[in-house]
Amino acid sequence: MLEAFGKHAEHKLQKVTGTARINKLIQEEEWDLVIQQAKSHPGEVRSWSCRPGFFEGVKDSDVLPIHEAVSMGAPVNVVKALVEAFPQGLTERESAYRRLPIHIACRHGGDKMDKEVVKYLIGAYPLGVATDDILGRVPLHYTCSNGAEEEIVDMLMTSCAGATRAYDRRGWLPIHVACSVGASYHVVKVMLDAFPASVALTTNKGSTPRRCCDMTRNSRDYDRICEMLERARDEWDADQPVPAKRPSSVRLLV
């Protein structure tokens, strides 16, 4: 797996809030002007700046304009302009959690998770789908935890079905996350189909996907999902001579 951590030592950070004009335009969501600025001043697109409270208003991070733009729900034409000005930005990680732009795009639920942006980022840098951050999470973990549309989950799965095998530092697979937040029947099913052994795998604290479902008993598809998982577990236990084991490493996904 490509380890594109970004060489921050080679970048001279601007002032703590970023003084380049493109930073200010992104913060003001002046998207048409951001595109113009990226074309006329491409050097600004590769400039790092420190963002206080970039994550949850608490965690500071050194970021590129593309990290900040996707975090604010920039439309796909803006993201394309930033990539055209600095293609390497797709492989650069922000400093706090070592997340790529695609991780950040997938962290935002609701109207800020733009499927066209995610689709573009997948196509522009497919390896990003199988890349984990400092928490051991791949983009699929974040789409599940933030209520992504089924279509976004399907796009990530099509690009790298092996992402269903990626467990984070707490031992959570994407299916554990999906079940814990009340994801749809479709989302859970496609993950189970891609990695059948996941039905029997537990988190570090011993929770199976079925047990994770009990965290959101009032979810729309709770009964159907539980029935599916219980049936799959019975079939798995009957067919397998040895207990299911976690994949040895998230880095064996591709």
For 129-150, write each residue's pLDDT tens digit: 999 999 999 999 999 998 878 9
Q: What average pLDDT does the segment 118-123 reach?
A: 97
For residue 11, is pLDDT > 60?
Answer: no
Cα–Cα distance between 109 and 118 in angstroms, integer? 12
Q: 209 or 14: whose pLDDT is higher?
A: 209
When mean pLDDT is compared across 44-48, 86-90, 219-223, 240-244, the lowest value belongs to: 240-244
**Structural domain harbouring 205:** 135-254
- Residue 36 included in any domain: no
Q: Environment class of residue 12 by beta-carbon count within 10 Å: exposed (0-12), middle (13-18) or buried (19+)?
A: exposed
Mean pLDDT of the chain: 89
- Residue 92 included in any domain: no
Residue 217: CATH number of its domain: 1.25.40.20
- Residue 175 included in any domain: yes
Domain count, the chain: 1
Residue 185 · residue 175 · CB < 8 Å: no
158-to-40, 87, 93, 149, 191 alpha-carbon distances in Å: 36, 23, 23, 15, 11
- Residue 235 included in any domain: yes
- Residue 45 included in any domain: no
- Residue 151 included in any domain: yes
> For position 10, what pLDDT does the model report?
38
For residue 5, is pLDDT > 90?
Answer: no
Quick: pLDDT tens for 182-231: 999 999 999 999 999 999 999 999 999 999 999 999 999 999 999 999 99
The structure's pTM equals 0.87
When mean pLDDT is compared across 73-77, 83-87, 108-112, 124-128, the lowest value belongs to: 108-112
For residue 239, is pLDDT > 90?
Answer: no
Quick: pLDDT tens for 58-95: 899 999 999 999 999 999 999 999 999 999 999 999 99
- Residue 231 included in any domain: yes
Q: What average pLDDT does the segment 165-170 reach?
A: 94
Q: Are strands 59-63 and 49-55 parallel, antiparallel or unpaired?
A: antiparallel
- Residue 140 included in any domain: yes
